[in-house]
Amino acid sequence: MNQNFQAIVQNRIDENTSNDQTFLLGGVLILFNLFVMLFVGLYWMNPVMHEFISGRPLL
């Protein structure tokens, strides 16, 4: 029983040796985070963009 469990765990570990999806997801999350920070920064500091999005002038 213990040997069967170890064989299953070993096969599972061998299947997950590629980290391509992990790096891809991490890269996408970092890019999305940078986009959100840039958008919020421009929204708060750029009067033209703030007025375009909200319809009200930046105070």
pLDDT tens, position by position, 3-50: 777 777 676 665 655 688 999 999 999 999 999 999 999 999 999 999
Q: Is residue 45 a contact partner of residue 38, using CB atoms and an 8 Å limit? A: no
Q: Is 24 exposed, middle or buried (0-12, 13-18, 19+ CB in 10 A)?
A: exposed
pTM of the model: 0.61
Pairwise CA distance, residues 35 & 46, whole Å: 16
Position 12 scores a pLDDT of 63
59 vs 25 pLDDT, higher one: 25
Position 35 scores a pLDDT of 98
Using alpha carbons, list the distances in angstroms from residue 1 to 5, 15, 43.
6, 22, 61
Position 18 scores a pLDDT of 67
